Structure 1
Amino acid sequence: MLFGNAPQANATEPTPLPNAHAHNDYYHQRPLLDALDQGFCNVEADVFLVGDQLLVGHYRWELRRDRSLESLYLAPLKERVAANDGHVYPQPGRFVLLIDIKEDGAKAYAALEKLLAKYDDMLSVTRDGKHQQKAITVIISGDRAQKEIAQSNPRYVGIDGRVSDLDSDAPSDLLPLISDNWNSHFQWKGNGEMPAAERAKLKKIVDQSHAKGRLVRFWATPEKPQVWAELNQAGVDLIGTDQLEKLAEFLNAPPTETNGR
């Protein structure tokens, strides 16, 4: 595994965790790298368009020229994919790069589209109506230029949908993910048992999404093993966290240690 100054892949290579999602990944000491060291298969980066560059940060005052989407994520991922025979990890599997455009959606997407074309060899793409799955699937959240994205050909991204899109007939490559605020749909915060009605609601959302080939994610979920266990058991595909090591430890634990997983 060639990755900056990282050593070649060896026995310490982490087990890929398909539903581990690094929320606001860029806040970690080593963006992307810390998540990869824990086996995360989903990372999230917020971006702003500054000039012709997409810079990473949650607020404009955090932005720096040396922290671009390309330098922190796309370039190192390309190096890693090249070293792992077309995959992010030696073991093949899905990897999602969730890009949250904070403002100026259409302009930012136009710049992003040009940037992603440079990484055609590793990005899932829909070209002339035919979808090709590759090492990394890019999904756009935040200020989503939905019309512009849908009209792109080739199209290197999908759109992050909402629970209100559960009945959408959009193809799964255009709408690959259903995301929403946990607190908009559930009252349970991880204290005591999850109410049966809320557990059933969660399962229904997941089942409806999966029936149309879409992944599921909630943001603002409480950072508690009890909540992770319910999400995992319901089949939520992207379990978001700011606590990389704790979620990795939870997901790597035997089933008896994760509330019946």
Structure 2
Amino acid sequence: MTMIAHTLATGSTVVALLAAPQTATAAPAAETTAELGAPLAQAHAHNDYEHDRPLLDALEHGFTSVEADVWLVEGELRVAHDAWELAEAPTLEEAYLAPLAGLVSPNGKQLYPGHDGDFQLLIDIKSEGPATWAAIEEELAEHKKFITGYHQGEIKDRAVEAVISGNRPLADMQAATTRYSFYDGRSTDLASALAPQFMPLVSENWTKLFTWQGVGEMPAVERETLHQYVETAHAAGYRVRFWATNDIAGPARENLWTELQAAGVDHINTDDLPGLQEFLTR
């Protein structure tokens, strides 16, 4: 068996990672490099795994949140959008956890050097909730050095906060006295009084609450609704994210992003990494 080396560049520092032993018939893993960009607190990579280099491309553009769709397949956690892609899909360990392990600071408390903010790993469960979450917890626990954890009411803050979306097993997560992931709520949870130590994030389909997609002025009533929504979430200690926002490059998307930024939305959703980076760094 051979060991395949991956190199990840963090500024001038190159970190070597050793992948799991490969079988004789396995194709050798390609060498990859990533130079971390300046961190952007509002940048969220929707369906990050669909980029040429999952995680690494987002980090080069300064993203502080990435989304991975995960399926439990014969005991393995595979990252893919659709079931038909699973046979060739990387595992959660390969695409995210192992690279993060090589990039975080030695004490596990920072990903971007000098940046104290958390990096969010949003894990969207696509398969059956309880079993998939249990498998996710096992893998996260193996990386507890840099994964934020909860134990009997106490939070141990680390560089990466894993948040569970999709098929979220609410009862199982609430019952856990120790866990390494947190709950992604919905708009209906804003008044739930769930502790932000359990539910730090509230995500919602933009089109469920709003009709405007950036063309012309945002209707005053919708702007007021957006600001009130964000203020309510922040007062309860929750971050805010929307999906299904207009992500077609052009003036309409720019208008929408401007309104999201002005309202204080914490995570702006996009598939266009350079586009959002350019918008947020003007």
Specify the TM-score bucket, using the shorter chain as the normaliser: over 0.9
Judged with a 3 Å threshold, the aligned counterparts in structure 2 of structure 1 residues 227 and 10 are, in CA distance, closer, same or farther, namely: farther
Question: 1:91: how far off?
Answer: 2.3
1:237 paired with 2:266, answer yes
**CA–CA distance in 2 between the matches of 1:251 and 1:174?**
29
Residues of 2 paired with 1:204 and 1:143: CA distance? 28
Match of 1:45 among 48, 68, 82: 68
Report the 3-state secondary structure (helix = DSSP H, G, I; strand = E; otherwise coil) of the residue aligned with 1:7.
Answer: strand
Which residue of structure 1 aligns with residue 93 of structure 2?
Answer: 70
C-alpha RMSD of the superposition: 1.7
Question: Partners of 1:57 and 1:235 in 2: how far apart?
Answer: 30
In the TM superposition, residue 209 of structure 1 has moved relative to its aligned partner by 0.6
Where has structure 1 moved over 4 Å in runs of 4 or more?
Answer: 10-13
AA of the residue aligned to 2:207: N
In 2, the alpha carbon distance for the partners of 1:107 and 1:144 equals: 11
Task: Give how far 1:151 is off.
Answer: 1.4
Q: Map 1:85-234 onto structure 2 (within 5 A).
A: 86-92=109-115, 93-223=117-247, 224-234=253-263
Which residue identity lines up with residue 179 of structure 2 in the other structure? R
Alpha-carbon shift at residue 197 of structure 1 (Å): 0.6
Whether contact under 8 Å (1:159, 1:175) holds in the other structure is yes
Distance change >3 Å, CA 239–CA 85, structure 1 → 2: same
2:18 aligns with none
SS of residue matched to 2:87: coil
Q: Which amino acid aligns with 2:71?
A: F
Report if the CA contact (8 A) 1:22-1:240 is conserved.
yes
Please state how far the C-alpha of 1:86 moved relative to its aligned partner.
3.0
CA deviation digits over 1:138-163, x for unaligned, max 9?
Answer: 11000001111111221111111011
Structure 2 residue ranges without an equivalent (≥5) = 14-34, 248-252
Mean CA deviation greater in 134-143 or 87-96 = 87-96
Alignment-derived partner of residue 50 in structure 2: 27
Q: CA-to-partner distance for each residue in 1:58-95, whole Å, 9 max, x for gaps?
A: 11111136600111001101110146863111022221
Larger relative contact order (Cα-Cα within 8 Å, sequence gap ≥ 6): 1
1:59 aligned to which of 62, 79, 82:
82
Deviation at 1:103, TM superposition (A): 2.1
Q: Percent identity?
A: 45
- One-letter code of the match for 1:121? K
Query: Aligned partner of 1:34: which letter?
Result: D
Query: How many angstroms does 1:125 deviate by?
Result: 1.0
Superposed displacement of residue 52, structure 1: 1.0
Cα displacement string for residues 33-76 of structure 1 (whole angstroms, at most 9, x for unaligned residues): 00000000000000100011110001111113660011100110
- Post-superposition Cα deviations, 1:129-186, rounded to whole Å, max 9, x if no partner, equal 1112211111100000111111122111111101111111111021111111000110
Tell me, yes or no, if the aligned pair for 2:148 and 2:161 is still in contact at 8 Å: yes
Task: Give the match's secondary structure for 2:150.
Answer: strand
Deviation at 1:10, TM superposition (A): 4.2
Q: What TM-score do you get using the length of structure 2 for normalisation? A: 0.85
C-alpha contact (below 8 Å) 1:175/1:214 kept by paired residues: yes
- Separation in 1 of the partners of 2:277 and 2:68? 19
Match for residue 7 of structure 1?
9
Is the 1:16–1:91 contact (alpha carbons within 8 Å) kept by the matching residues of 2? no
Aligned residues between the structures: 251
Q: Of the two, which has the highest radius of gyration?
A: 2
